[in-house]
Chain A
Amino acid sequence: MRATTLCVALSVAACHGNIGAELVTPPAPRVTPAPSATPTASPTPSPTTPPVDPPKPFEPGPPVVRRVVGAHYVATIGTLLGPEAAALAIAPPDAALNGLDAIGAAQLALDTSAVRAYESSARAVAAAAIAHGALARWAQCRSMDDACYGTFVSRFARALFRRPLEADEITAWVAVAHDARVATMDFDTGLLHLIAGLLQAPSFLYRPELGADDPAHPGWKKLTPHELATRLAFFLTERGPDDALLTAADRGELETPAAIATHVDRLLATPEAQGALASYYDELLQLRDLPTASKNAALFPELDDALRNSMREETQRFIADIVWTENTDFRRIFDANYTFMDTRLATLYGVDRGLGRGFTKVTLPPATKRGGIFGQASFHTLHSHATTTSPTLRGKFVREVLMCQPIRPPPPGVVTVLPVDPPSTPRTTRQRLEDAHFTNEGCRGCHANMDGIGFGLENFDPIGKFRLTENNLPIDARTALDGAAFEGAAELGALIAPMRGTMVCAARGLYRQAVGRVETENEEAAITAIVGGFEASGWRMQKLLAEIVLSDGFRYVKAE
């Protein structure tokens, strides 16, 4: 949630939920968490916390039918029909559930406005594809007749629907083109309505991941080769499977982890794989909201569209550097001592000028207190108010999104309003929040876990500029995370990076993205195995992606 709820004046502060553990986390005393082998262990264990249940044997999660999300729709059209067509492809908006569009797309239905959006997009795309000669790769016809339509359908729709078509399906689609050609005496108009129809077909827009009986595992269903190829391709490359993958599926070659791994390695080497991961972090880190983040233009006149885009690109280049260029330990996203800057960001950050055009990798001096994503302006800007910082929002994001520790909402009917400051006695944001949130033990329980993190970042203003004062008062950024003292983004990152739970959380998020669901309790064993492989690689993200695809949780669903 973008906006914050401020204070809670009630007792029993149960802030974090954890699978298998009771929802009780006393506010104090807090202890430094020890690295734990149990991914679901509470970060602030207390003597009263009941023991975590022993791990359950793996059982796959339920089957899903997933709508192709907007970015995947556009990318697939680009691959199959060219960039001019993709430029006109506009999908209806996605709606997230549990924080991910991929989960919303596996549950929510399309309404009339979505159907209308798909129809106008399909017609525009079809016209552009024809006008720009994008169809030649699908069919080279001697004569412009129904046989030509048939050749086109059998090839193009195989790629679009991610499976071979039955003969009667081909006949039915050719009839659409035929009727349009007869009505208009124009071959291309036949093609136009044919392509527009195919692009609206549920066989394109939905991804059924239902599986087929597997004699080796009664009660489970194994994704069919084409379903597996589809899940794999969308997860790793944000578009439908390419010809090599479809052909492998046609031949039944995707039966063993080794055979699948060949394609994983091949696809991870493509730019599409980099794009897919970038899209995922654009969503997870909410970077795509930067263009519309509300900020007071009078206070922050420098925050124009270009600077917002620079902030987004900094974080994306930073993650890409760790994952693809260096292929190094993913925990560096928290504690790397460098970032990427253009001249706009260098000015904002007040570091040495003299950068050339575009982005440069810059080592951050300790005095900047920057390092990792907590030192980046995208993070500061997204998790602040329009006029002031929000230690609460910043801490909430760290807990919920990066540590997978949701914060409970304030109960109803309590005062959730910040008191007025008389103009004669201004205070810092920290002072206001400490007064409102920390003087009451009920508020303190949850807010210490959020605000406590945010206080350490108070040197970064609502758009990420460094500051030493607020309201002419000195800023005190000394604070603690779960009992360990820190000050500034670099020190926060250094504390968080070694916490195993953050990497478990990273794996959990990508697993959900891959299967379109929040994992069930019975899939914890699969997550544990995935994290084991991730850890053994020295926390390489590329390895995590491969581990997810090769997991039983990815390849099987429950028989229903």
Chain B
Amino acid sequence: MSSFTLHRRTLLKGVLGGLGFGLALPTFEAMLDGNGTAYAQTRLPIPKRLGIFYWGNGVRLDQWNPAVTGPAWRLSPELAPLEDVKDYVNVVSGYRAKAGYGRRGHHDGTAAIMSGIPFIELPHESASYSSKFGGPSIDQIAADTIGASTTIPSLQLAISKRLIGGEGPTLQYISHRGPDEPLAPEFNPQALFDRLFGSFTPPDATDPTNALRSRALDAVKDDAARLSRKLGVNDRRRLDAHLTGIAQLQREISALPPEITSSCTKPARPTERNVDANGNEPLEAVSHLMSDLLAMAFACDLTRVASFQLTGSVGYTVYDFLGITRGHHDLSHEAGERDNVHRTIHWNMQQFAYLCAKMKATEEGDGNVLDNSVWMATSDVAEGESHSSDDYPIVLAGKAGGFLKYPGVHHRGTNADNTSDVLLTVMRSIGTGVTSVGADQGLSTTPCAAIEA
């Protein structure tokens, strides 16, 4: 799939205000070939997509792990919401999140399951504890490969705003391009809509505003280059990340409107902006809207990579609609609240099920978006109660174009197995060309073959 970095379709050139710019269009069903498996013009296959669905404070393993392994597995109480997409689901249990294992609860699990690389501790002899990721999360490796040719190489979305901000980027964000480059998510469905579908409104050819915005950004880049010459390696890398952001913004400003087809349509602009009412978060409404918009973003090939942070690591989301009043992290440490913890995880998986169902209901070619995607659902610890990183909860949903077992299986490892093996399989399944994932104890060069077709 690395050949997929070429623009698949004609590069359209526009001239506005005397300034030329051009960009690849998103996908349209009309451009698919007769078999519905490849684009007509180039005969390249329908793109594969990666999504990561993440929540904080783990699961209850006795309610999560299916009792039976192999193809005959049955849904456990916490996986029960996945009934309608069960054939698309592979469950991996019994793996240890080895990267940074045992150094600090939640930090180790998040960094291990998102990147396979041990997290970096900041000096803290007399200062508050903080940590950073040790390297890029796998969604960013995917963004640089399968995402590189799309308008938006990767999307970061988050639902609950009750995050931990005091211990560094590891607990606050799940997508990272490197130790100093956490990627802030979008919490607001309306803002996400505007970013994704703003270009669906054709620009007024006589209005030079967008071209002039881009012109000003060119001057900003010149200023950055002047500053960059004075800087050392690390700070220059930070400025390079800023420049990448500017280039990405210019790319989105000049994106041309796609053609509306039966698959790729412009949704209605949501009114929901993820604002609390009476101190309560509109979690379900936002989760559903984000899922709807994301399914369309995939169908229109605006992006192929997304991370979806339902709740945060050590997050203190309050599930008020379940009649629960404690913040979730506190809840996870109360023996008397185990039933409520279970109900929150069940609800989390209902949200994941909604997302998968939406992908499945979005047709493309002779199948659907879930056929050509893989969604990894996981958390920052195995069980919140003990901050453990053993027997890590991992669910993969989607066929990844036939790469993954379908119908799915429950594969249970010994605790000697490394969760990075599963990450490697994920990276292989979407055609990144990657042959290893992670570093140090988290390094894997051996995929989780048991779930590969």
Contacts and interface: CB of A to CB of B under 8 A. Distances in A.
Contacts of B130: 96-99
A413 B335 contact: no
B399 to A, nearest CB: 30
A326 interface: no
A297 B318 CA distance: 12
A6 B335 CA distance: 12
Interface stretch (B36-44, B166-174, B417-425): B166-174
A173 interface: yes
B254 to A, nearest CB: 14
B215 A202 contact: no
B208 to A, nearest CB: 4
Contacts of A107: 180
Interface string A382-405: 000111000000000000110011
A4 B212 CA distance: 50
Interface in B90-120: 101-102, 104-105, 108
Contact of A412 (B169, B231, B389): B389
Contacts of A98: 122-124, 127-130, 168
Interface string B206-233: 0010011101110110111011001110
B124 A17 contact: yes
A33 B326 CA distance: 37
A65 B105 contact: no
A412 B165 contact: no
Contact of A294 (B166, B237, B245, B316): B316
Contacts of A189: 212
Contact of B314 (A3, A92, A169): A3
B83 interface: no
Contact of A119 (B180, B213, B219): B213
A114 B244 CA distance: 11
Interface size class of A (residues with CB under 8 A): 35 or more
A347 interface: no
B269 interface: no
Contact of B241 (A109, A173, A210, A387): A109
A334 B340 CA distance: 40
A386 B166 contact: no
* Interface core residue of A112, A172, A418 (most chain B CB under 10 Å): A112
Most buried by B among A5, A6, A108, A194: A108
From B101, B226, B237, residue with most partner A Cβ within 10 Å: B226
A114 B245 contact: yes
Contacts of B272: none
Given A65-B231, A179-B215, A294-B327, A202 B180 contact: no
A478 interface: no
A115 B126 contact: no
A183 B15 CA distance: 13
Nearest to A17: B125
B248 A115 contact: yes
A19 B231 CA distance: 30
Q: Which of A65, A111, A169, A179 gathers most chain B CB within 10 Å?
A: A111
Contacts of A95: 165, 168-169, 172, 182, 184
Interface stretch (B3-11, B64-72, B380-388): B380-388
Contacts of A352: none
Interface in B248-276: 248-249, 276
A13 B223 CA distance: 52
Nearest to B381: A412
Contact of A19 (B125, B183, B249, B278): B125
Contacts of B211: 183
A420 B122 CA distance: 36
B333 interface: yes
Nearest to A521: B125
Nearest to B314: A3
Interface in B130-173: 130, 132, 156, 161-162, 164-169, 172
B325 A416 contact: no
A135 interface: no
Contacts of A53: none
Nearest to A123: B213
Nearest to B389: A412
Interface string A185-198: 00001000110110
Interface in B296-331: 314, 316, 318, 325-327, 329-330
A125 to B, nearest CB: 13
B330 A4 contact: yes
A417 B231 contact: no
A2 interface: yes
A184 B325 CA distance: 56
Given A17-B124, A406-B126, A418-B335, A112 B249 contact: yes
Contacts of A200: 216-217, 220
B235 to A, nearest CB: 4
A3 B128 contact: no
A206 B227 contact: yes
Given A200-B216, A202-B242, A518 B249 contact: no
Contact of A203 (B184, B227, B333): B227
Contact of B123 (A104, A172, A518): A518
A26 to B, nearest CB: 19
B30 interface: no
A409 interface: yes
A445 interface: no
A457 B134 CA distance: 40
A40 B180 contact: no
A116 B244 CA distance: 12
A297 B129 contact: no
Interface string A316-348: 000000000000000000000000000000000
Contact of A406 (B129, B132, B166, B180): B129
Contacts of B180: 107-109
A17 B216 contact: no
The 3 A-B residue pairs whose C-beta atoms are closest, nearest first, are A99-B128, A115-B245, A197-B216
22 contacts: A2-B314, A3-B164, A17-B124, A18-B126, A98-B123, A98-B128, A99-B128, A108-B181, A110-B241, A110-B245, A111-B184, A119-B249, A176-B219, A180-B212, A193-B213, A202-B220, A294-B162, A410-B387, A412-B387, A417-B335, A419-B335, A518-B127
Given A109-B180, A294-B279, A386-B326, 18 more contacts: A65-B231, A93-B184, A96-B128, A109-B237, A110-B242, A111-B177, A113-B156, A113-B186, A173-B219, A180-B208, A197-B217, A295-B279, A412-B108, A417-B334, A417-B386, A418-B335, A420-B335, A420-B336
Interface of B: 17-18, 101-102, 104-105, 108, 122-130, 132, 156, 161-162, 164-169, 172, 177, 180-186, 195, 208, 211-213, 215-217, 219-220, 222-224, 226-227, 230-232, 235, 237-239, 241-242, 244-246, 248-249, 276, 278-279, 314, 316, 318, 325-327, 329-330, 333-336, 385-390
Interface of A: 1-6, 17-19, 40, 63, 65, 92-93, 95-99, 104, 107-116, 119, 123, 169, 172-173, 175-176, 179-180, 183-184, 189, 193-194, 196-197, 200-203, 206, 208, 210, 292, 294-299, 385-387, 400-401, 404-406, 409-421, 505, 508, 512, 518, 560
